[in-house]
Chain A
């Protein structure tokens, strides 16, 4: 019995335990770790992954996957900067254009998957391959920088000179995602489709629409994250922004306990997963360790976390 209980706990809170352990270890070994600015930095650096993986959690809960979010970031970034800087357009217009373009990518994925029944990994592979090419094509692969511009302070803005704007958005996005999953019809449908797609269709759920909505939401969040990153870096680099971000997001979702085969979406778990990944990187940086070691440690953590959460075989 006790062994079973331990198993239950590690399955449910495995990621959280790892996170707490990491915080404790860092508190001991990492100088200045317990400083508030360290916390802000961790959150700022994890911003993209946290925001996008909220959408990814829902995508994965439908039994799908979206490996095109990195390309979507590239697209949103270049469209935003091109309109804002090169064409001197209004900030809000540029923002909406970038988000709208991201949503088109999401809709493309969603339509292939929801309407034409493509395997999610194949469908999103298409935009993963060509999406970045499309983004690069917009400005011939040239980076658009805007240091010293009137917009260059937005990305580093701190509310009341204390709380970074990214942190506010993280809280907002996570709360909305949790609300969607727990309290709304949409959230229920998303999880039902991942749990049993055939039954969902037969009971009259508009599975195609729901899937399109889920992928659009994921792409929208990728676009949003991208605009923030672009503002923070004061440059739009379609060649490099969001490279491999899909893998970090998927890893965060997996560490967080959402089953890769679909079903229940564990929003708070994903948040924990994303924080774990970032903490490892930060730990290496702050202790002056070559970041390649972070990769090795992350890989071990992913495998251990997933092993702990593994459903007991019947």
Chain B
């Protein structure tokens, strides 16, 4: 009986300095199935995974892997028993070749010397069997995130993994890449390898997972077969309160007829951007849709003065502008919430108050000397206004959850009273509850006359929030959707074919 499951975790408990984060959680995965672990941020998912992979030690409970009890002390040991983890951040070495990344640590030797030819050959075969045809002698860095992740998977096959954990592995992939990843997951499954899949994208869960386990606040909610649940039911279990509001698409587009605030024409830059036009009116929420690499983030970075353009013009309030530094753009009332919060947003060791005020110190200082009371007053204002959950203004931002970090970053920009905010994937990696709050916030901001450019890979997010959606495709405008036209189907057809299906109803 015990052999039906590759992994059984029973009664797992864990506390961090007297706060209990896992309460006797049971978790099990059948051999060769794709199992999703679901829960909001703070539900205990990552703690459970870290206990499984040996990064944390457990306070109570047992872990059986293939029927045998294991107690791991580090991730390497986990790998040795057959548990391999694919992280969102690639855990391979970009400077080494693809083949080296697959084989290092278990080199093929001939007469005691590494047989590079055999290594390159076998890597090639392995990747081909996964449907990938790439040059394995090139450095890993020369390929994109998706391929790097596939290489990581190839490596886990090679080291005889029996359980592959994919922790938010899809969050930086575009739809096509996700498709390829899923086909590989199915191949793993066919080989009897179990996959533990963690994602914030519900659609992915329903597409790939056979069964799933839901956690909430460190407690087990239950284990289900995916086929037995609807999306709405799943969200309800995860959130534990009425989830209607977010699942039911609540549409609030408006016809915004104010003055044109920002206008860009014919933006070109290398091969990424090949001539993009865009206009945004005052108080309008414009969505930017497209696949990864369609030029969304690239366009935003050029508008904000981070990267240079080759050609094209940017106008604000009818006047041409040329920003050489973000500082210049900020001076003209622009703000940019970047997609990579950790790398491009937070200053981890500074406090919340400092993180909110740092871009606008003029307001809370005199002659370059910080006025602590002013700094805290501003911070408290925003903590209350946008409901940042924190123990106080002096807490370090790195100790907040992803959603609250995002709110602090938003507060940073809002405190500068901008005219225009670019939000690049503002809800990525954020749990359902916080997501809703941030979306509400976006609408509130636009109500104050602030224009918003919302970049999102989630069509539903665009549908819910945007007055207009501009679809990009291969660095060009593919089409524009307004009001009722903004549907998943229309966006997808524009991305796929550059035009809307018959009867889709598109504005010229």
Contact present between A and B (CB < 8 A) = yes
Partner of A202, one of B306, B348, B349: B306
Closest Cβ of chain B to A184, distance in Å, is 5
Contact call B338/A188, Cβ cutoff below 8 A: no
- From known contacts A186-B368, A188-B358, infer whether A202 and B346 are also in contact, taking CB-CB under 8 Å: no
Q: Is the interface of B mostly helix, strand, loop or mixed?
A: mixed
Asked if B467 is at the interface (CB within 8 A of a chain A CB), the reply is: no
Q: Size of chain B's interface in residues, with CB distance under 8 A?
A: 28
A195: chain B residues at CB < 8 Å are 347-350
Asked if B354 is at the interface (CB within 8 A of a chain A CB), the reply is: yes
Partner of B346, one of A199, A201, A263: A199
Closest Cβ of chain A to B327, distance in Å, is 4
A196: chain B residues at CB < 8 Å are 343, 346-348
Closest Cβ of chain B to A282, distance in Å, is 35
Partner of A205, one of B343, B348, B350, B358: B358
Contact call B344/A199, Cβ cutoff below 8 A: yes
Contact call A191/B350, Cβ cutoff below 8 A: yes
B412: chain A residues at CB < 8 Å are 203
CA distance A264 to B350 in the complex (A): 8
Asked if B326 is at the interface (CB within 8 A of a chain A CB), the reply is: yes
List residues of A (1-50) whose CB comes within 8 Å of B's CBs. Answer: 1, 4
A200: chain B residues at CB < 8 Å are 347
Asked if A204 is at the interface (CB within 8 A of a chain B CB), the reply is: yes
Contact call A204/B330, Cβ cutoff below 8 A: yes
- From known contacts A201-B326, A203-B412, A204-B327, infer whether A184 and B346 are also in contact, taking CB-CB under 8 Å: no
Asked if A245 is at the interface (CB within 8 A of a chain B CB), the reply is: no
Contact call B369/A192, Cβ cutoff below 8 A: no
- From known contacts A184-B369, A185-B361, A195-B349, infer whether A204 and B343 are also in contact, taking CB-CB under 8 Å: no
List residues of B (16-34) whose CB comes within 8 Å of A's CBs. Answer: 17
Contact call B326/A192, Cβ cutoff below 8 A: no
Which partner residue on chain A sits nearest B50 by CB separation?
Answer: A314
Asked if B345 is at the interface (CB within 8 A of a chain A CB), the reply is: yes
CA distance A191 to B358 in the complex (A): 11
Partner of B347, one of A1, A185, A192, A204: A192
Contact call A183/B370, Cβ cutoff below 8 A: yes
- From known contacts A188-B361, A192-B347, infer whether A205 and B354 are also in contact, taking CB-CB under 8 Å: no
Q: Enumerate chain B interface residues (CB-CB to A < 8 A).
A: 17, 304, 306, 325-327, 329-331, 336, 338, 343-350, 354, 358-359, 361, 365, 368-370, 412
- Can you report 21 residue pairs joining A to B where beta carbons are below 8 Å apart? A1-B17, A4-B17, A184-B369, A188-B354, A188-B358, A188-B370, A192-B354, A192-B358, A196-B347, A196-B348, A199-B345, A199-B347, A200-B347, A202-B304, A203-B330, A203-B358, A204-B331, A205-B327, A205-B358, A206-B327, A264-B349
- In addition to A204-B325, A205-B359, 16 A-B residue pairs with Cβ atoms within 8 Å of each other are A1-B17, A183-B370, A185-B361, A185-B370, A188-B370, A192-B354, A196-B343, A199-B345, A202-B338, A202-B345, A203-B330, A203-B358, A204-B326, A204-B329, A204-B359, A263-B349
